Amino acid sequence: MNALKKEVEQKVEAAATQSTAPTADSAIDISLPGIRRPIGAEHPIIRTQNEIISVFRNLGYSVAEGPVIETDYYNFEALNFPPNHPARDTQDTLFLANQDAKAPRERLLLRTHTSPVQIRTMEKLAPPLRILVPGKVHRNDPPDASHSPMFHQVEGLAVDTNITFGDLKGTLDHAMKALFGSSVKTGFRPSFFPFTEPSAEMFVSCFICGGSGKRGEDNAPCRPCKQTGWIEILGCGMVDPNVFESVKQNGYDPEKISGFAFGMGVDRIAMLKYGLDDLQLFFQGDVRFLEQFG
Ligand SMILES: [Zn+2]
């Protein structure tokens, strides 16, 4: 036992002297540069989102954010989707599990659009209001080149006395020219959303082919605009008076005020801007893809 004890003690001593007194070979050369960490790059979706935000910030909009896990009330009911409204089906909502004991309006879901933040902000702030709402949204879509169960929206809301459809057109026309270049033209087509009336889809002339539908010297068909010369870029409309009803007590009397709202898909705009044909590239975390934006 004593022999063993001696051996262990010697080994411990040897190890201790080695670590405290390095030899010339193992010494740290303090003149060498340290380990550099790569700085990284802004993700193309965040970059696009920030570009959109800065355009509207210059128009006096402020940024509002809200929870990604929402109640049925904020995601649907307050936005004029009554129970059993067919529009609820079209959104293919992802609900949280085990909530059968709760009242339907309190059931939790992953928000399908950023519009719940309209209601949450109007509950807190009296009109006039100009907000921009960026954020993640979820829908039950299997991932492919143009779909993802998680994607990004930027939504806008302006409320004041005497806001008209002319204000909506002027604001969005200015914003599209600021985002895609002063030569783009804009157009509107009637549409339907439960929370706006009237509603419209907005188109911009294709900034890739200049609106001709053809590209390059050999007149190849322009894919992003499907050779039409126009790209559908966002949905918009005048806020439905029923939406104001749910926040009426905070100064939003639909008899006295009006407003417009719009929403766009950040991922799709980023794809158009950077000429990508596969949405999944944004979410795979492949550094070889992402470092190109550094
Ligand atoms: Zn085109």
Strands 62-63 and 129-138: parallel
Kindly give the distance from the C-alpha atom of residue 255 to the centroid of ligand 1, in angstroms, as a whole number: 43
**Residues 46, 183: Cα–Cα separation, whole Å:** 25
Residue 198, Cβ neighbours under 10 Å: how many? 14
Which residues are found with C-beta within 5 Å of the ion, ligand 1?
A: 206, 208-209, 222, 225
pLDDT for 128-175, tens place per residue? 999 999 999 999 888 999 899 999 999 999 999 999 999 999 999 999
pLDDT for 21-50, tens place per residue? 556 667 788 888 888 887 778 899 999 999
Give the pLDDT of residue 92.
Answer: 82
Kindly give the distance from the C-alpha atom of residue 205 to the centroid of ligand 1, in angstroms, as a whole number: 8
**Residues 275, 231: Cα–Cα separation, whole Å:** 14
Give the pLDDT of residue 224.
Answer: 85
Beta strands in 224-280 (DSSP E): 230-239, 258-265
Task: Specify the pTM.
Answer: 0.83
Give the pLDDT of residue 84.
Answer: 76
Kindly give the distance from the C-alpha atom of residue 277 to the centroid of ligand 1, in angstroms, as a whole number: 14
Give the pLDDT of residue 87.
Answer: 59
116 and 66 in contact (C-beta within 8 Å)?
yes
Listed as ranges, residues in the chain with pLDDT below 50 are none
